[in-house]
C-alpha cells in the first residue's frame, strides 16, 4: 500500500484556497497509486489560526468546506485533513469549545474524526486557549485489496512526550505507547511544527527513538511556509520499525512524498530516492528560512514589492539580499538617505550592493530636513547639549520617508534591525524600527556576518567555478556604525558583538542568571550593563514590527515579558532582596 505525505503551504483562514491545495495533492497522489494521503495539522484552516477560532462563522465555514472537499476527492483515496471540530459537550461540562482534530475523508464522506490529546502552551503555542484535549488515542482501518491495515493517528505534540527520550514526561499520557499497545500497523503524525535552527535534527532523533523503542513505523507530515512571524520548514519524515529513515520531504518547499507499506514485513520500504537532503549548514537553513518567511509574508499579505533603507551597512545588505531572492530583484527598492554625517563609502557601498543584487535605488539626502528640525527646535533646545534626541531625529526622518514611499506606492517596508540591537534597544522607535516586517529581528549580529560571508562563498558565476561578491567586501570589513554623529561606531555604545551575543544567548536562550553569565567568564560590569539594557528596552520590542522567528527564543509571539516591572536579574544571586538604586531601571524613549 502506498501512502503519500502532502507537505502543504496553507494561508491561514483561506478555507477555499487551502481545500484546493489538498484536492490538488489528492489528485497527484491518486495518479501515483497512493491509497492514503496525509496532510498537516489544521491543514484546512492553516496553523496557527489563533483567535479566528473564536468566530463561530469561521468554524461553521470550515465544517462546510470539509464536507465539500470530501465530495470532491478521488473515491479510491482516503485523506486525513486537519480541522477544528466543535466540542458538543463543552457547555455542559465547562470545557473548551473546540477540538484540534483530524478528519478521515473517504468515499465522499467524513468517515471518522480524531482529536489531539496533548495541547502545548509554551513558547508560541497557546492551544489550551481554544481546544479541549482528546481523551483517547484511536486508529482507523483502511482496506487495500484483500488486506486491512490499522493506522494509529496522532497530531503534532502527541509524539513529543516520551519520558525515556526527554528524561521526563510533560503530560500524563503517551499516545505513541498507547497506540503501540493497540497493535496498529503504523502510526501517522500530522504536524505544524515551526522552524527553529537545528530543530529537524531533534525531530528526527525523537521519531527515530520512538519508532525503535515501540517497534512502530511512523510517518510525520509537517506544514511548510511562513505565517506571520512563524516559518514552517516541512521536512516531513518517515521511519521503519528499526528506526531507519524511509523518506523525507524537501526542506522549506511544498512537496509530495510517497512511501510504501509492505504487508509481508509489516513495515515501510526504504527508498533512498524519497529521502530529500537537508541543508548543509546552519547558515544554509537560516537563509532558506528567511527567504521563505519574507516571500510568504509579502505574498499572503497581498503585497508585490518591498522597500527598505540601504545604509551601506551589513544589516540592510542582508535584508536586501534576502528580499531579492524571495520576491525577485525587480520588486525591491532600496532607498539611500545620507546625512551630513554619512561617509562617502556608505553611499558607495550601498550602490555597489544594489548593483550586485540588481535592485532599484532612490537617493533622498536628508541634510536639509535635519536643518529644518534644528530650526524648529532651536528655541526649545537652547542651552542643552547635542545628544540622543538630535541623533534619533535622523533615524525618524528616514523612517518617515520610507513610510511615505510605502504609503504612496503600496510597497511593504522591511525594517533591517538585527536581534542584538533589538535585545539592548539599540534602535529608534518610529525611525529604523518602522516597517511591516522585521526580516532579521531574530538573527544576532554575529550570525548576520556569518550569513553574508556564507552568501558570498556559496554564490558562483553560473558555471560553479568562480565566486561572486554579492555583499561588497568593504561592508563586511568596516566597523558597524549608525553614523548618527561624526566618527561614531556601534562599539562606542555596545560591547563587541562577539561578547554581546554570547551574553545575550546565555540570558535569553539559556535563562541564566547574571551571576552565572559572569561565572562563564564575562566582565561583571559589562554583564550588568547588558542586563539593564535588555530590561529597559522591552517597551520598544512591544512596538516593533513582526519579526521572523529562526531561533528557539525570539522577541515575538512566544516572548511574554512585562514592560512595567520591578525585577532585575542580579549579579549576586544570593541576595534577592531590594535592588540597589544604581541598578534600578530608568526608561527613556529613544
Model confidence at 252: pLDDT above 70: yes
Model confidence at 436: pLDDT above 50: yes
In the chain the first and final C-alpha atoms are separated, in Å, by 63
Give residue 469's pLDDT. 85
Here the contacts of 562-565 (C-beta below 8 Å, separation 24 or greater) are 562/538, 563/538, 563/539
Model confidence at 561: pLDDT above 80: yes
Upstream peptide bond of 160 is cis (omega within 30 degrees of 0): no
Give residue 54's pLDDT. 96
Average pLDDT, the chain: 92
Write the DSSP string, 509-574: IS---HHHHHHTT--HHHHHHHHHHHHHTHHHHTTSPPB---SSS-SSTT----SS------S-TT
Percentage of the chain with pLDDT > 70? 92
Model confidence at 544: pLDDT above 50: yes
Mean pLDDT across 174-184: 96
Measured from the Cβ of residue 356, the count of other Cβ atoms closer than 10 Å reads 20
> Cβ distance 527 to 571 under 8 Å?
yes
Q: Active site includes 116?
A: yes
| Strand 360-363 to 412-415 pairing | unpaired
More confident residue, 586 or 166: 166
Out of 106, 132, 156, 538, pick the active-site residue. 156
> Cβ distance 237 to 11 under 8 Å?
no
Give residue 486's pLDDT. 67
Mean pLDDT across 428-437: 95
Q: Helix (H, G, I), strand (E, B), or coil: what is residue 45?
A: coil
> What is the C-alpha separation between 296 and 46, in angstroms, rounded?
13
494-503 per-position pLDDT tens digit:
899 999 999 9
**Exposure b/e, 435-452, CB count within 10 A at least 16 = b:** bbbbbbbbbbbbbbbbbb
Can you count the helices (H) and strands (E) in the chain?
Answer: 18, 20
303-492+540-563 CATH choice from 3.50.50.60, 3.40.50.620, 3.30.70.260, 3.40.50.1100: 3.40.50.620
Model confidence at 365: pLDDT above 90: yes
Q: Active site includes 301?
A: no
Band (587; pLDDT cuts 50, 70, 90): very low
Q: Helix (H, G, I), strand (E, B), or coil: what is residue 92?
A: helix
Mean pLDDT across 306-317: 96
Out of 116, 250, 305, 549, pick the active-site residue. 116
- The residue whose grid cell reads 528580499 is 323
Q: Domain segments of the chain: what residues? A: 2-273, 303-492+540-563
Give residue 490's pLDDT. 67
Give residue 114's pLDDT. 97
Give residue 577's pLDDT. 44
> What is the C-alpha separation between 7 and 233, in angstroms, rounded?
9
Per-residue cell: 85:
471540530
- The residue whose grid cell reads 532558506 is 288
Model confidence at 576: pLDDT above 50: no
Q: Active site includes 41?
A: yes
> Cβ distance 175 to 118 under 8 Å?
yes
2-273 CATH choice from 3.60.110.10, 3.40.50.920, 3.20.20.300, 3.30.2310.20: 3.60.110.10
Most distant pair of Cα atoms in the chain: their distance: 92
| Strand 2-7 to 255-262 pairing | antiparallel
Amino acid at each position: 500500500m502506498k501512502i503519500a505525505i502532502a507537505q502543504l503551504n496553507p494561508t491561514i483562514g483561506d478555507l477555499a484556497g487551502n481545500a484546493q491545495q489538498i484536492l490538488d495533492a489528492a489528485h497527484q497522489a491518486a495518479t501515483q497509486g497512493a491509497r492514503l494521503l496525509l496532510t498537516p495539522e489544521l491543514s484546512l484552516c492553516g496553523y496557527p489560526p489563533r483567535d479566528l477560532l473564536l468566530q463561530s462563522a469561521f468554524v461553521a465555514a470550515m465544517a462546510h468546506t470539509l464536507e465539500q472537499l470530501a465530495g470532491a476527492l478521488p473515491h479510491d483515496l482516503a485523506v486525513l485533513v486537519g480541522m477544528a471540530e466543535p466540542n458538543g459537550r463543552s457547555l455542559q461540562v465547562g470545557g473548551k469549545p473546540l477540538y484540534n482534530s483530524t478528519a478521515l475523508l473517504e468515499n465522499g464522506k467524513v468517515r471518522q474524526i480524531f482529536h489531539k490529546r496533548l495541547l502545548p502552551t509554551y513558547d508560541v503555542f497557546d492551544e489550551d486557549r481554544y481546544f479541549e484535549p482528546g481523551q483517547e488515542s484511536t486508529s482507523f482501518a483502511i482496506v487495500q485489496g484483500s488486506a486491512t491495515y490499522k493506522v494509529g493517528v496522532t497530531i503534532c505534540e502527541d509524539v513529543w512526550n516520551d519520558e525515556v527520550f526527554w528524561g521526563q514526561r510533560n503530560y500524563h499520557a503517551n499516545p505513541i505507547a498507547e497506540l503501540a499497545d493497540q497493535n496498529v500497523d503504523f502510526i501517522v503524525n500530522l504536524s505544524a511544527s515551526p522552524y527553529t535552527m537545528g530543530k529537524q535534527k531533534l525531530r528526527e532523533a525523537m521519531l527515530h527513538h520512538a519508532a525503535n523503542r515501540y517497534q512502530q513505523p511512523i510517518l510525520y507530515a509537517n506544514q511548510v511556509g511562513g505565517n506571520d512571524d512563524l516559518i514552517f520548514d516541512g521536512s516531513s519524515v518517515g521511519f521503519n520499525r528499526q528506526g531507519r529513515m524511509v523518506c523525507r520531504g524537501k526542506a522549506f518547499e511544498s512537496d509530495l512524498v510517497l512511501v510504501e507499506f509492505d504487508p509481508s514485513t509489516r513495515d515501510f520500504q526504504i527508498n533512498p530516492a524519497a529521502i530529500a537532503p537537508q541543508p548543509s549548514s546552519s547558515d544554509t537553513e537560516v537563509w532558506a528560512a528567511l527567504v521563505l518567511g519574507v516571500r510568504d509574508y509579502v505574498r499572503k499579505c497581498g503585497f508585490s514589492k518591498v522597500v527598505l533603507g540601504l545604509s551601506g551597512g551589513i544589516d540592510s545588505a542582508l535584508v536586501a539580499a534576502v528580499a531579492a531572492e524571495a520576491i525577485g530583484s525587480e520588486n525591491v527598492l532600496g532607498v539611500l538617505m545620507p546625512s551630513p554625517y554619512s561617509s562617502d563609502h556608505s553611499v558607495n557601498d550601498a550602490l555597489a550592493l544594489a548593483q550586485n543584487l540588481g535592485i532599484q535605488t532612490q537617493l533622498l539626502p536628508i541634510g536639509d530636513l535635519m536643518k529644518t528640525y534644528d530650526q524648529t527646535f532651536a528655541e526649545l533646545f537652547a542651552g542643552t547639549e547635542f545628544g540622543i534626541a538630535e541623533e534619533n531625529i535622523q533615524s525618524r526622518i528616514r523612517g518617515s520617508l520610507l513610510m511615505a514611499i510605502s504609503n504612496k506606492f503600496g510597497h511593504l517596508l522591511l525594517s533591517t534591525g538585527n536581534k542584538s540591537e533589538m535585545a539592548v534597544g539599540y534602535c529608534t522607535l518610529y525611525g529604523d524600527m518602522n516597517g511591516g516586517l522585521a526580516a532579521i529581528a531574530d538573527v544576532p549580529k554575529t550570525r548576520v556576518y556569518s550569513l553574508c560571508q556564507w552568501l558570498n562563498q556559496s554564490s558562483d558565476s553560473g558555471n560553479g567555478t568562480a565566486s561572486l561578491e554579492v555583499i561588497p567586501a568593504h561592508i563586511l570589513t568596516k566597523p558597524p556604525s549608525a553614523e548618527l554623529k561624526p566618527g561614531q561606531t556601534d562599539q562606542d555604545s555596545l560591547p563587541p558583538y562577539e561578547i554581546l551575543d554570547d551574553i545575550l544567548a546565555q540570558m535569553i536562550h539559556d535563562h541564566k542568571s547574571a551571576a552565572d553569565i559572569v561565572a562563564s567568564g564575562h566582565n561583571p560590569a559589562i554583564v550588568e550593563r547588558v542586563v539593564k539594557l535588555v530590561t529597559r528596552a522591552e517597551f520598544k520590542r512591544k512596538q516593533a514590527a513582526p519579526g521572523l522567528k529562526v531561533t528557539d527564543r525570539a522577541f515575538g509571539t512566544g516572548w511574554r515579558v512585562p514592560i512595567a516591572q520591578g525585577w532585575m536579574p542580579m549579579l549576586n544571586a544570593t541576595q534577592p532582596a531590594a535592588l540597589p538604586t544604581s541598578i534600578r531601571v530608568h526608561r527613556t524613549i529613544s
